[in-house]
Amino acid sequence: MARNRKLLNELDRLGENLDRIAVAAFSRGPARAAEEIVVDLQEAGPVWSGKFSNSWEISTSDGRRTAGTGAPGLPRRIPAPLLSGRGFAFDENKYVISNFSSYADVARDLVESNYIDPGTDPIKEYERGTRVSGYRGDLIGDDEGPNRSTAPLDWYTTYLRGGQIDRRIKVELDAELGRIRL
Amino acid sequence: MNYQAIRAAVEGPLLTAFNNLSPAVPVYFDNITATPPNTTTEYVRVNVTFGITNEPTLTSSVDNARGAVVIRIFTEKGRGPARNQTLLNTAVNVLETLNNSTKSTSGVYFKVGEINGPTFSATEEAPHFVGRIETSYVATVLS
């Protein structure tokens, strides 16, 4: 009888440990994915002065937030805030990634704008062309023309809709689950 | 992988639909010079981009691709959104029709996802009012 109770207690403890490990893995996985998504966006997007690339922010559904400095310079990595237990358990949208730069929509090719070449070279490699419409990346020309762009047109939509973001989330969740040692 | 066939699967029907309007509305695709700036002529821009190719979990076929279709409608500024939305309807109808097609044994099987938008914008300097929609797609080359 006593032996059976001991066995049941050990099984209970094992169950609790499994729960804790699983919650930790599932909580760290999305955080890692959010961090890597920002890195992907920084790599895929335009980088002229670096202000836009350093203006990404990651916030959780329970109000925690980390953000870039918004300052010029090479794009810097942002650590993602960890979710609270409540946020992990109940909130459907656990992380929100956004960009707080004033010209975020222009940089993402979502709206038109006017452009003035600052005359300095951008941080990232660029292509030349002639801008067709008011969209940032809407250049045409075989790397010749008066306008410059450091990211292709619709880079943001392509990342979101072309499957890369799904793959990034899967890779990070798989990696986190792979770290579990029972 | 036949990227050109995938591109044609969405560009062809859009071109036909806008050509069939009266008057026809010019459609410009990637790497084609559109109407010169500062004219008020209405036109359509279609950009097809490619994301992941041959994703193993997508289908049993290894000839598949995912990507995005972005359609921008340029109409005259200062005349309200009606004309722009009429042209957007044409684009959305084409995308919806693509989803009605059935899978055959050859060609390209092309399906779009949810359509995001339309969003509208206009700047002070540019002569156009722009409506924009975007969607994802999954395409499988069957032959």
Structural domain range at position A156: 2-178
Residue B129, domain member (yes or no): no
A158 chain-B contacts, CB cut-off 8 A = 49-51, 67-68
Residue B64, domain member (yes or no): yes
Structural domain range at position B82: 3-115
* Helix/strand/coil for B136: strand
Residue B58, domain member (yes or no): yes
**A134: nearest CA partner in chain B:** B126
User: Cis ω on the peptide bond leading into residue B81 (within 30° of 0)?
Assistant: no
**A168: nearest CA partner in chain B:** B52
Where does chain A have alpha helices with state H?
2-44, 85-90, 104-107, 155-161, 164-178
Torsion of CA B80, B30, B38, A122, to 10 degrees: 110
Please, are residues B130 and B122 in contact by the beta-carbon 8 Å criterion? yes
A138 chain-B contacts, CB cut-off 8 A = 45
What is the domain-level CATH number for residue B16?
3.30.2000
Residue B27, domain member (yes or no): yes
Residue B7, domain member (yes or no): yes
**Residue in A152, A154, A163 nearest the CB of B66:** A163
Place of tokens 């020309």: A141
Burial class (CB in 10 A: 0-12, 13-18, 19+), A71: exposed
Distance from CA of A138 to the nearest CA of B (A): 9
What total of structural domains would you count in chain A? 1
What total of structural domains would you count in chain B? 1
What's the pLDDT tens digit per position in B21-49? 999 999 998 877 665 555 778 999 999 99
What's the predicted TM-score (pTM) here?
A: 0.85
Residue B130, domain member (yes or no): no
Q: Which residues pair with B128 in a beta bridge?
A: B76
Residue B107, domain member (yes or no): yes
Secondary structure percentages of chain B, helix, strand, coil, to 5? 25, 40, 35
B44 chain-A contacts, CB cut-off 8 A = none
Place of tokens 């925690």: A64
Please list the pLDDT of chain A residue by residue as tens digits (182 residues): 667 777 777 777 766 666 666 666 667 888 999 999 999 999 999 999 999 999 999 999 888 999 999 999 999 999 999 887 766 666 677 899 999 999 999 999 999 898 888 889 999 999 999 888 889 998 888 788 899 999 999 999 999 999 999 999 888 888 877 776 65
Give every CB contact of residue B70 below 8 A, 6+ residues apart in sequence: A154, A157, B45, B46, B47, B49, B132, B133, B134
| Backbone dihedral angles phi then psi of residue B133, each to the nearest 5 degrees | -125, 155
